[in-house]
Amino acid sequence: MDEKDLKETQVSSKDVYDGSILHVKEDIIKLPNGKEASRELIRHIGAVCVVPVTSDGKVIMERQFRYPIDRVITEIPAGKLDSYDEDRLEAAKRELREETGYTASDWRDIGLYYPAPAYSDEKITMYLATGLTKGSRDLDEDEFLNIIEIPIEELVRDIVSGKITDGKTQVAVLKAYEIIRNA
């Protein structure tokens, strides 16, 4: 399928904000019809998320306050990369251990997730982790979260009913459930 008629190309770019996690830019782009338009976008270092499933089919989940939405939500372990070239699997292993205390003997890359492609290039690599062993957590100084276990079937129902609202959690858990169910 030829989609050259949809391609936008950058004419110019200027920095609007350069933070430790987010880098906001305003680009002038050339549209497929030759006209120019402005695009505000966020450049993000990237992230990983993990669906850790116990031998009895429970998912290790986190309850964490999220300041931008002013509420505590349930989500899977996740975190940003330390650098653009950091190995994504190693980052997932680190985040799982630091946030939950668990390590896993079996890892499966279950795909990419772009949470907001209309205005951000953030790319989250999703993993399924099994063969779990419990250890001790090593939370960052500014991290506060509680760990809970939810049977995967119940978690899928919570996603479908709207109880779980975090996008990466919805996508990764549904993918993991299908993989486990069809194994």
pLDDT tens readout for residues 169-178: 999 999 999 9
Q: How large is the C-alpha radius of gyration of the chain? A: 19
Active-site choice (95, 99, 141, 178): 141
pTM of the full structure: 0.93
pLDDT at 20 over 90: no
Catalytic site residue 141?
A: yes
Domains of the chain: 4-44 (no CATH), 47-181 (3.90.79.10)
Our CA dihedral for 60, 125, 171, 100, rounded to 10 degrees, sits at: 10
Query: Are 41 and 24 contacting, i.e. CB atoms less than 8 angstroms apart?
Result: yes
Q: What is the pLDDT of residues 61-76, one digit of tens each?
A: 999 999 999 999 999 9
